[in-house]
Structure 1
Amino acid sequence: MHFFALSLATLIIIALAAYAISLHLKLHKRQKEIQKTEQDVAKQITEKQLSARKDIGFLALAYINEQVELAEVSLRISKLAQYLELDEQQQTHYQVFNEVASTIANIPTHKQWKQLSKKDKAAHQRTFKQLEELHTDNAKISAQQIVDLKQRQ
C-alpha cells in the first residue's frame, strides 16, 4: 500500500511538472508573439512617420513655390503632423499651419463645398483671403524651416 501511495504521488508530481512545462512553453510562445507584434507596430509607426515627414516636406515646398494655397496646405500639414513626435522647437514650425487649419476646420470641402450657395462660398473665400493676408509671411518662413529640417535629416 505504501508503494502504491508513493507511485501515485510520483505520477501526480510528474503530471503537474509536465503541465507546468506546458504552461511555461505556452507563456514563452505568447511572449514572443507579443514581442513580434510590438516590433511590427513600431515599424509601422516609424514608416508612417517617415512617410508623413516626406509628404510634409513636399507640401511645404509646394507652398513655397505657390503651387498650393495656404488653406489647403494647412489642413494637410496639420493632419500629417499628428503622426510625428515633435519636440517644442519643431512644433513651432507647424504652429501657423495648425492655427489656419483649426480656423477653417468647419468649412465644407469637396462635395459639400459644391453644394454651398454662391453667397456662402464667397463668405468662406473672404475668410481664406483674410487668412492668407494674415499668415502668409509666417507660413512661408515655417514652410522653409520644414524644408530645411527635412534636408538635414
Structure 2
Amino acid sequence: MNALSIGLLLAGLLVVLVLGGYALHLWRRVWAQQKAYASAESARQQRLGGDLRLLAGSLLDEQLPLIEGAIRIKILLDNYNIQLSNHERCRVFHTLFDETSGIPTHAAWKALTAAERRQHDKRFSELELQHKAAARKAARWLLDEGLPQHPAHV
C-alpha cells in the first residue's frame, strides 16, 4: 500500500466518523423531540381529564346547564379519547350534541327574534326532560369508572 492509498483510506474513515457523529447528533435531537412531545401529550391528557372531571362534576351539581355541559363534555371526550367518547354510556352526550348542532350560537343567537329564541329554549327544555337522567348517569360513570383516577397533588 502506498502513501496515497493510506491517505485516502484515512480520509474516508474520517468522513465516515464525521457523518456517523452527525447522524448521532440528529438522532439525539429526534429522541429529545419525541420525549418533549410525549411529555406535552401527557400534560394535555391530564389537563383534558381534569377538565372532563370538572365538567362532569358541575353537571351533576347542576352548576352547569345540561345542554351546555353535554356539548362541552362531548367535545372534550372527542379530544381526550375517541374510544371513551364512543362508549355506549357516553352516547347521550353525542345525542344532545347532534340535537342542538343546528342552533345558532354567540352573535347569531343574539340576532334571533325573541320568538325564535323561545322556540329554541322550548327545544332545550324538551331535550333536558328527555335526557337529563341519562346525562347525569353518564357523567357519574365518567367520574367513577370512565376517567382514570389521578391522585391529588399536594
Q: Same fold by TM (over 0.5)?
A: yes
Question: Which of the numbers 57, 61, 64 marks the counterpart of 1:61?
Answer: 57
Q: Distance in 2 between matches of 1:93 and 1:47?
A: 26
Matched residue type, 1:36: A
- Pair 1:90–1:104, CA change in 2 (3 A): closer
SS at match of 1:83: helix
Query: Higher mean Cα deviation, 70-79 or 91-100?
Result: 91-100
* 1:147 partnered with 2:147: no
User: Secondary structure at 1:108's aligned position in 2?
Assistant: coil
Contact 1:78 / 1:97 at 8 angstroms: preserved in 2?
A: yes
**Structure 2: where are the runs of 5+ without partners?**
none
Residue aligning to 2:114: 118
Partner residue of 1:50? Answer: 46
* % identical aligned pairs: 21
Q: Residues 106 and 35 (structure 1 numbering): CA distance in 2 closer, same or farther, change over 3 Å? A: farther
Computing the radius of gyration from Cα coordinates, the structure with the larger value is 1
Alignment of 1:3-152 (within 5 A): 6-85=2-81, 87=83, 91-149=87-145, 150=147, 152=149
Change (3 A) 1:51 1:124: same
What is the alpha-carbon distance in structure 2 between the residues aligned to residue 138 and residue 62 of structure 1? Answer: 15
